[in-house]
Structure 1
């Protein structure tokens, strides 16, 4: 008898009303969680959009500043172009022999036109400075700077004056670093295109002008706009650090990464392992087709997650307080409801547990309210049905076991032995009975018939159809019948008895034991694999006709091959190639071919074991979905 309680006489409807009240409280918690998730998503999205706007503003500001510098740099273009007339005159006077050019004298003649230091250079076809008024850079090889070398080669092969931007020069030939003085360079090819004449101008205004158009003010405004930015650094194409603003949490510059960005011209984002910071490298394309030097920049922006975490913590705290209140209310309601429901449910569980342990004669005890009494009657009725179904299931299991034993008798009990060939076979059904089979048919003393087949479907119907197909084929296959005649006659008989939708894919071949000649018919079956040792490759024996049992009076073509020493013939069903792993991936013909190639020099049994082991290792814990059948024939060494 159930323990009496104040709610023991309530109907199930009343109990459900109380339960729904508790569910409403729980729903409130989910709504709070959904609201927090939405607020979280919105906040993170806003943070990302702010970062994108910041980066766009930085790029546009840098482009604007570079445009101003470009206008300033171009003010000297016309004067430098005019000065090249004297430089070219000196080259003409030397008749192409640059050793006859007095470079310091030429420079002094041209230097009067400029308010600064002018230096001259001559670059040969190999990109090497072979003459200069700056001895420190003599024999500098510009092939070490591939992008710049391509630019000056293009200028040398042309016919026009080209003015470069104001850029850093190479310090000296030994170091090769591009971190020297700011110079304004210009170029003019010689008429014979053997050399490229170069001018380099140093003026005091270069440094001051770049200070006025620097990126310091831009980065200051950006950091004010976005408090998540911890550090901004800007690098030129030579890896020189042009600007650094903010708190630097890093000890070194990743020059390899900077170089990669300039090479690929793509942005890169890196997150630190602790997730507190992320670095975004922006490639700013400042290339100009009219100049030799690449003025592009890379901006490294370090974002910290601390401001975002503070905002999210405040939102989480707010929703947590609301959730706690809802949870407390829900617990109170659940306690009251559980006290009413658990007592009769516990008694039912005790009775059901006793029944589950095998005592099917036990019945459910009487319940206190109408709804539970109906449950009691239903469970007792179910127990009666279970007893009846259990007896039927045991009878069906016994029948299936008998069918499985009978089916196993259809498979060859012994593997044929041959002095020249070794054979191995296996059949593993997916259920107790299956539709796959293989067979060895002794045709005469010199030849042997080999069969592998796969009946459509599984279970008892497939097993019966398999027995029919095997019996018909065995009755017709003789040494006097050609392989195509055997299959065509068998197909007509099978099609006459086949139920709707039943068919069998089958591979049948005859093997001459002395010569190794094989004649085969592939009736819609998975293409067997032939490994030829002489050719060191695998061949697939493609279908030569339709599956058997589909329609009568079908014709089949015949294929031929010869198994020589070391050759391997692999017959299989789709249970091998269509074995799936827990990720729903298929084993496939490629992995089967790899397994055959890897074990080609082993014995037939070892080849079979290797293939099956790889299939089972690939499938892992996944359930076998189809019958697996394998037959291996190997010509002995």
Structure 2
């Protein structure tokens, strides 16, 4: 009979169906002619209670919660079956009768695997009866088979949930990436501006971002940002920041004014206390004048036409979303033909190798030195390649974003 049960449960992937099947088989295994009540009771979220998934008799109403008695609690805790033929005299029952205050005899066996106890199979009688060790052994074999099936069902459900979660994250990543501009202005198409960007979240989605767009025919705005944290919360905050930057840029032209208008909006109703570092620059395409402001962000690197690398001047300022009264300064510089700016988030300089050494800004400057003949994409690819070699074998610890902006020579 137990072999036949194994065949029956092989294709069963529903917990309630398994419970009912268990109950039916248990009825055949118990002595006939006795007024027995049976229940398949599984562990749920309710503290001090089990969920009645299948039952026979007034004590075991399907869908109800079963108040755990002292004997059942012992079975759950020890993982061993209990035969109690005089329940009223058992000290565990006297301490906690639970739902079984009228019961005279009880046979309770755990539904367990090696790693988990899912509940109990309980057989009770309100009339005097002597359960035998042989009956307990057979019931235990039945419960063991069912426990394996329940474990398999849980595993299937977990895998389905994981797959759905992964699909959701992949969709979120696709949506997030689609919000970032990927059509880069290239000198080969007649523009004197060469711009290329790259982003790589540490997880499926992240909080780093970049954006660039025209404020008018002669002014280009470039922004790079790094939201605190990683994963979905950071990604959601990033979307809000990116959207607000564009909205504020319609009302303000200068980078520090954009930051000043944006900051209070990020501070408002920010119970999660998230923040973002930003670097915003505008480029006058007629004069090649760069106007820029920091919001607590890394200082970009300036690659001169002679191949010399230096950090862009200016104070890094305060991250946005922390103090609503924060102020921001503005700087300017003249960019000449053949010169580049490399903007990045701290996922670059703080990237760690297997020895927990940081990549560092000095290493980044050394890498870029002498690369004045590289175009924007080549500069980004050079940085990525060097980071990948440095961190080989180590897990990516933070999101990464890079922008190379270059004024091409004639």
Pair 1:544–1:379, CA change in 2 (3 A): same
Q: CA deviation at 1:378?
A: 4.7
Aligned equivalents of 1:630, 1:535: Cα separation in 2: 19
Q: CA deviation at 1:542?
A: 4.6
Pair 1:376–1:509, CA change in 2 (3 A): same
Q: Where does 1:330-341 land on structure 2 (aligned, <5 Å)?
A: none
2:246 equivalent to 1:474: yes
Aligned equivalents of 1:627, 1:541: Cα separation in 2: 25
Q: CA deviation at 1:607?
A: 1.0
Which residue of structure 2 aligns with residue 495 of structure 1? 267
Q: Where does 1:263-282 land on structure 2 (aligned, <5 Å)?
A: none
Tell me, yes or no, if the aligned pair for 2:300 and 2:343 is still in contact at 8 Å: yes
1:483 to 255, 260, 264: 255
2:208 equivalent to 1:436: yes
Q: CA deviation at 1:491?
A: 1.0
Which residue of structure 2 aligns with residue 406 of structure 1? 175
Which residue of structure 2 aligns with residue 459 of structure 1? 231
Pair 1:373–1:632, CA change in 2 (3 A): same
Q: CA deviation at 1:594?
A: 1.1
Pair 1:375–1:506, CA change in 2 (3 A): farther
**1:258-277: CA deviation from partner (whole Å, max 9, x where unpaired):** xxxxxxxxxxxxxxxxxxxx
Q: CA deviation at 1:380?
A: 3.5
Which residue of structure 1 aligns with residue 382 of structure 2? 610
Q: Where does 1:507-546 land on structure 2 (aligned, <5 Å)?
A: 507-533=279-305, 536-546=308-318
Aligned length: 274
Which residue of structure 2 aligns with residue 566 of structure 1? 338
Residue 389 of structure 2 aligns to a residue whose secondary structure is: helix
User: TM-score normalised to the size of structure 2?
Assistant: 0.62
Aligned equivalents of 1:535, 1:436: Cα separation in 2: 28
Residue 443 of structure 1 aligns to a residue whose secondary structure is: strand
Aligned equivalents of 1:506, 1:384: Cα separation in 2: 48
Pair 1:537–1:464, CA change in 2 (3 A): closer
Q: CA deviation at 1:424?
A: 1.0
Tell me, yes or no, if the aligned pair for 1:429 and 1:628 is still in contact at 8 Å: yes
Q: CA deviation at 1:547?
A: 0.5
Q: CA deviation at 1:531?
A: 2.1
Residue 369 of structure 2 aligns to a residue whose secondary structure is: helix
2:324 to 545, 552, 574: 552
Tell me, yes or no, if the aligned pair for 1:452 and 1:571 is still in contact at 8 Å: yes
Aligned equivalents of 1:489, 1:620: Cα separation in 2: 42
Tell me, yes or no, if the aligned pair for 1:507 and 1:523 is still in contact at 8 Å: yes
Q: CA deviation at 1:532?
A: 2.8
Which residue of structure 2 aligns with residue 381 of structure 1? 150
Q: CA deviation at 1:441?
A: 1.9
Q: CA deviation at 1:540?
A: 3.7
Greater gyration radius = 1
Tell me, yes or no, if the aligned pair for 1:544 and 1:556 is still in contact at 8 Å: no
Tell me, yes or no, if the aligned pair for 2:307 and 2:371 is still in contact at 8 Å: no
Q: Hey, which of these two has a bigger chunk of helix by percent?
A: 1
Which residue of structure 2 aligns with residue 583 of structure 1? 355
* Unaligned stretches of 5+ residues in structure 2: 4-112, 115-136
Aligned equivalents of 1:586, 1:476: Cα separation in 2: 35
Q: CA deviation at 1:480?
A: 5.1
Q: Alpha carbon RMSD of aligned pairs, Å? A: 2.7
Which residue of structure 1 aligns with residue 160 of structure 2? 391
Aligned equivalents of 1:456, 1:541: Cα separation in 2: 24
* Unaligned stretches of 5+ residues in structure 1: 3-347, 350-367
Pair 1:447–1:388, CA change in 2 (3 A): same
Tell me, yes or no, if the aligned pair for 1:424 and 1:633 is still in contact at 8 Å: yes
Pair 1:620–1:537, CA change in 2 (3 A): closer
Which residue of structure 1 aligns with residue 59 of structure 2? none
Which residue of structure 1 aligns with residue 55 of structure 2? none
Aligned equivalents of 2:251, 2:350: Cα separation in 1: 35
Q: Where does 1:131-170 land on structure 2 (aligned, <5 Å)?
A: none
Aligned equivalents of 2:307, 2:364: Cα separation in 1: 19
**1:443-501: CA deviation from partner (whole Å, max 9, x where unpaired):** 11111000000111111111110000000000111485321111110111121143322
Aligned equivalents of 1:484, 1:583: Cα separation in 2: 39
Aligned equivalents of 2:310, 2:327: Cα separation in 1: 27
Aligned equivalents of 2:338, 2:183: Cα separation in 1: 23
Higher relative contact order (CA 8 A, sep 6+): 2
Which residue of structure 1 aligns with residue 185 of structure 2? 416
Tell me, yes or no, if the aligned pair for 2:306 and 2:370 is still in contact at 8 Å: no
Q: CA deviation at 1:552?
A: 1.4
